[in-house]
Every structure is written in C-alpha cells, then in structure tokens.
Amino acid sequence: MSYVVKRDSLISDIGQKCPRAIELLTDYGLSCATCFLNQFDNIEAGATLHGMTKEEIDRMIGEINEVLKEEEL
C-alpha cells in the first residue's frame, strides 16, 4: 500500500487519494470532508472537533486504509 492514512493526514489529501473515503468520513459525521477548509485540517483534528474519541478515530482510519488497500488490488 503506497499511501497510508495516519492521524496527521490532511483531509483534502485523503479525499484526493481515495475518493471513496469522502463517503466514509461523512458516514462518521465529518462534514468537513467536503468543506473547502479541509486542506488545512488533519483527520485527527477534524474528528476531534466533531466529538470523536481516539478509539473511533483509529477505527475510522483503519477502515479508510482498508479501502485504500482494496483499490490497489
């Protein structure tokens, strides 16, 4: 897997590398996935602002990385 999402990954980068991640982020309540300010926020900051716990953030990042892995196959 060439691109791996981490806590400090910018939301805009995630959307560019994996468009399917936008839907996943939105499902988790991160409306910032489609906001123009997403180029300045990393996924941890955005998720924390939306009230997610560290465990929820880790689960979400894991799901995004699974999607990225599937798309490489």
Which pair of tokens denotes residue 67?
């999607």
pLDDT in tens, 57-72: 999 999 999 999 988 7
Domain ranges of the chain: 11-72
- Global pTM reads 0.88
The 8-class DSSP code of residue 35 comes to S
Phi, psi torsion values for 42, nearest 5 degrees: -90, 170
pLDDT along the chain (73 residues), means of 10: 90 90 90 80 93 97 94 75
What is the Cα–Cα distance from 8 to 5, expressed in whole angstroms? 8
24 Cβ partners below 8 Å, 6+ apart?
A: 60, 63, 64, 67
